[in-house]
C-alpha cells in the first residue's frame, strides 16, 4: 500500500466514477482518454484493488470503487479548500438554466465585477431539477431556480439563498387574440392550453408551479411535447405548434411571438441561488454577495399587493409582503 496517493489520480478516479464513461470523463478533465486510463490503472495498482469493471458497453464501479469514492471526494475537497486559502482557485461552474433568463445573468455578471480575479464560468442545464443532480455529484457548483419544487431528498443535500420572486409572463404566437394586449389577465387564458415544460425531466419544478397556478384559473396544462434540446429546436417546435408558453417577464420573445406580463393577480416565479452543502469557494461568496446586493437594490423579494405565490414557496423564500 502506498504511503500517499497523488490527488491527480484521485481526481481521475472520481471523474470516471461520476461519468461512468472514460471518453466523457477525459473531456471533463481536458486530457486524452489514454492518459486517463493510465492514471486509473496506476491508482488501481497502488491501492491493489480493482475500481471499475470495464466492458465494451459500460463502465461500473466495483465494491472497492464504491468504498473509495466518498474518501476520494473528501480528499479532493480538502485540496480545493487548501488551494482556495492560498489564492489558487479552480473555476466556479454556474448554471444559468437558459441564455434568456435575465435574473440569473445579472447575478453572475455582478459577481464577476465583485471578484474580477476569479473565473466564474456559465453553463446551461435547462432546469433546476436537471442541475440539482449535477450539483450533488460535483459536476456543477451553483444554479438558480425554484428550490421548493425540488424533491426533498435533493433539497437535503443542497443549500439555497432566495434571490427573487419574478413576475411571470405568457409568450404568445403573433396573431393570437391576446397578443394585442399590453398585459394578459389570467382570466383571459381560461380554457386555453399553455405549455409549461410538461414531460421534461429537467424542469418538473417549473411544471409544478404552473399546475398550482393554472388550477385556480381554468387554464389547461399543455401535454408533453417531444423534448427539444437547444434553443433553436425549441423555437422550431413552438412555432410549429403555436402553443402559448409560460415564461417570466424578462424572457426574450422568439421569432413570430410576443411576451406579455400576466396580471390580476401577478403570478410570481420564486428564484433561489442553489449550491451543494459544504461547498467552499470564493466564487460562491461573490455570487451570494451579488444576489444579496441586487435583491436589496431592486426589491426582488417583496411581493406586490396583487402578487400570487404558492404557500410552500412563500415559506421557503421568506419573502416580504
Question: Domain locations in the chain?
Answer: 7-85, 92-164+268-317, 168-266
- Residue 117 dihedral angles phi and psi, to the nearest 5°: -85, -5
pLDDT of res. 206: 94
pLDDT of res. 231: 64
The DSSP H or E segment spanning 196 is none
Q: Give the pLDDT band of residue 230 (cuts 50, 70, 90).
A: low
Q: Give the pLDDT band of residue 251 (cuts 50, 70, 90).
A: confident
Least confident window among 49-58, 70-79, 218-227, 278-287: 218-227
| Contact criterion met (CB below 8 Å) for 43 and 71 | no
CATH code for residues 7-85: 1.10.10.10
pTM above 0.85, yes or no: no
pLDDT of res. 268: 96
- Residue 156 dihedral angles phi and psi, to the nearest 5°: -65, -20
The fraction of the chain above a pLDDT of 90, given in percent, is 56
Q: Give the pLDDT band of residue 126 (cuts 50, 70, 90).
A: confident
CATH for 168-266 (3.40.718.10, 1.20.80.10, 3.40.50.720, 3.40.190.10): 3.40.190.10
pLDDT higher at 241 or 54: 54
Q: What is the mean pLDDT of the chain?
A: 88
Q: Give the pLDDT band of residue 2 (cuts 50, 70, 90).
A: low
Domains 92-164+268-317 and 168-266 share a fold: yes
pLDDT of res. 309: 93
| Contact criterion met (CB below 8 Å) for 26 and 33 | yes
pLDDT of res. 60: 93
Q: Which of 65, 76, 59 is nearest to 5 (CA)?
A: 76
**pLDDT one-digit tens code per residue, 129-152:** 999 999 988 889 999 999 999 999
Q: Tell whether the model's pLDDT for residue 321 goes beyond 60.
A: no
Q: Give the pLDDT band of residue 273 (cuts 50, 70, 90).
A: very high
Over range 278-307, report the average pLDDT.
Answer: 92
What's domain 92-164+268-317's architecture?
Answer: 3-Layer(aba) Sandwich (3.40)
Diameter over CA atoms, the chain: 74
- Residue 293 dihedral angles phi and psi, to the nearest 5°: -65, -45
Q: In whole angstroms, what is the distance from residue 303 CA to residue 299 CA?
A: 9
Amino acid at each position: 500500500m502506498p504511503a500517499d496517493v497523488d490527488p491527480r489520480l484521485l481526481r481521475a478516479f472520481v471523474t470516471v466514477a461520476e461519468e461512468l464513461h472514460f471518453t466523457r470523463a477525459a473531456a471533463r478533465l481536458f486530457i486524452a482518454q489514454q492518459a486517463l486510463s493510465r492514471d486509473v490503472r496506476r491508482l488501481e495498482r497502488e491501492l491493489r484493488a480493482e475500481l471499475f469493471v470495464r466492458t465494451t458497453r459500460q463502465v461500473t464501479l466495483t465494491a472497492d470503487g464504491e468504498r473509495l469514492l466518498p474518501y476520494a471526494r473528501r480528499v479532493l475537497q480538502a485540496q480545493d479548500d487548501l488551494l482556495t486559502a492560498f489564492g489558487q482557485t479552480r473555476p466556479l461552474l454556474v448554471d444559468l438554466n437558459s441564455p434568456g433568463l435575465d435574473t440569473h445573468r445579472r447575478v453572475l455578471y455582478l459577481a464577476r465585477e465583485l471578484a474580477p480575479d476569479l473565473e466564474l464560468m456559465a453553463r446551461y442545464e435547462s432546469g433546476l431539477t436537471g442541475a440539482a443532480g449535477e450539483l450533488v455529484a460535483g459536476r456543477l457548483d451553483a444554479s438558480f431556480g425554484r428550490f421548493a419544487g425540488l424533491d426533498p431528498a435533493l433539497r437535503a443535500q443542497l443549500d439555497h439563498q432566495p434571490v427573487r420572486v419574478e413576475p411571470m409572463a405568457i409568450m404568445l404566437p403573433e396573431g393570437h387574440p391576446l397578443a394585442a394586449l399590453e398585459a394578459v389577465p389570467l382570466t383571459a387564458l381560461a380554457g386555453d392550453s399553455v405549455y409549461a415544460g410538461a414531460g421534461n425531466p429537467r424542469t418538473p419544478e417549473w411544471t409544478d408551479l404552473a399546475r398550482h397556478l393554472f388550477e385556480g384559473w381554468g387554464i389547461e396544462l399543455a401535454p408533453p411535447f417531444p423534448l427539444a434540446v437547444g434553443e433553436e429546436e425549441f423555437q422550431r417546435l413552438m412555432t410549429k405548434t403555436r402553443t402559448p408558453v409560460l415564461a417570466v417577464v424578462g424572457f426574450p420573445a422568439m421569432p413570430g411571438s410576443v411576451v406579455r406580463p400576466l396580471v390580476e393577480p401577478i403570478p410570481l416565479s420564486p428564484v433561489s441561488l442553489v449550491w451543494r452543502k459544504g461547498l467552499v469557494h470564493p466564487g460562491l461568496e461573490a455570487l451570494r454577495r451579488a444576489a444579496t446586493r441586487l435583491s436589496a437594490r431592486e426589491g426582488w423579494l417583496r411581493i406586490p399587493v396583487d402578487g400570487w405565490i404558492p404557500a410552500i414557496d412563500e415559506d421557503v423564500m421568506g419573502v416580504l409582503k
